[in-house]
Structure 1
Amino acid sequence: MKHLYIKQKVFSISGKFTVKDEQERDVYYVEGSFMRIPKTFSILNDTRHEVALITKKTFSFLPKFFVEAGGREVITIKKEFSFFKARYTIDAAGIEVQGNWWDMDFQIIQQGQVVGKVSKEWFTWGDSYKVQILNEEMETIVFALVIAIDCVKADQAAASSASI
């Protein structure tokens, strides 16, 4: 089992942050595009090679995010039409999310087996999450899904504050 710790910088305009392991070594780098359409987030490994890419679809009635890993699209997160509460669906081949993903407290399940767990770290400056990778073959997919869900949440928060 592997643990990753995501600590986002509160005042980062471009969306850049690092992900650390148990020994506090940088293992992933997440870099968001700044002032570019479509909005993207690149996930780089410790040698700065891109392992996943998250893209927000532009010119869509409802927000939709795509996650690519290994050169192929593996996850789609899309907002469903609803009047009161924001609802999203996650479409990923053989992957299911159970729990409260809006509060970053959930499990990622593949074919009945838990492959990852996510929990929010409380009493920290900025958003901090602990990601447990239970199946290391799924590390990139699990980690990319967590970042994509966080992008969806940030997009929803930005949309809500813009409508006030």
Structure 2
Amino acid sequence: MSTILSINNKLLSFRGRMSIGDENGEQLYDATGQFALFNPTWILRKRNQQIATVKRKMWPFWSLMWDIHSSIGDFQVKRKLFSWSRIYYVIGGKYDGAIIEGNFWDLKFSVTHQKKTIASAKGKILSIRDTHSIEVYDDESDSEIFTTIMMVVLQLDRRDESNNSE
């Protein structure tokens, strides 16, 4: 049985906040950015219990990487540069080799590991906030946590990119 998650990026929040809920609108996860001038650490919680931290690596400058420390293990996420669509690779941890691939308009994403689709996401074209519905196909709780972490990384990457273009 699959699980449907929904992530909302509250654009007007001072520090930044993302909430991830189920299909009934009940909040399951909450991601908040700690105040920092350049590179905040984001904390992902489930029912007020910290399950992960996400921080963009400032070095090396020629690639986009994030360090993740989580309840399912530590790993890195690297974005492939010079691609028409967003492609991310997971390095290390339980999901080593996982690929997260989006479409040109950043509205759809799929998360695959060992040729198995773990989750897919669809965004809404016209909405006041960034909202994505995520269907997690794998029943394992680690897959839900991993997918949630990856969606936070994707949202942070989009936010950084839009801030840099302004």
Partners of 1:86 and 1:160 lie apart in 2 by 17
Please say which of residues 108-117 and 61-70 is displaced more in the overlay. Answer: 61-70
TM-score, L = length of structure 2: 0.82
The answer as to whether partners of 2:86 and 2:103 remain within 8 angstroms in 1 is no
Partners of 2:75 and 2:104 lie apart in 1 by 18
Partners of 1:88 and 1:23 lie apart in 2 by 30
Say which SS state the counterpart of residue 11 (structure 2) adopts: coil
Give 1:1-164 correspondences, 5 Å limit: 1-35=2-36, 38-46=39-47, 48-62=48-62, 63-70=64-71, 72-78=73-79, 80=81, 89-92=88-91, 93-100=96-103, 103-137=106-140, 138-161=143-166
What's the C-alpha RMSD, in Å, of the aligned pairs?
2.5
Partners of 1:149 and 1:67 lie apart in 2 by 13
* Cα displacement (A) at 1:8: 1.6
The answer as to whether partners of 1:15 and 1:32 remain within 8 angstroms in 2 is yes
Can you give the 5+ residue segments of structure 2 that lack an aligned partner in the other structure? Answer: none
The answer as to whether partners of 1:43 and 1:53 remain within 8 angstroms in 2 is yes
Partners of 2:20 and 2:164 lie apart in 1 by 26
Partners of 2:158 and 2:26 lie apart in 1 by 26
Give the count of matched residue pairs. 158
Distance change (3 Å), C-alpha of 1:12 and 1:29: same
Partners of 1:7 and 1:152 lie apart in 2 by 15
* Cα displacement (A) at 1:89: 4.3
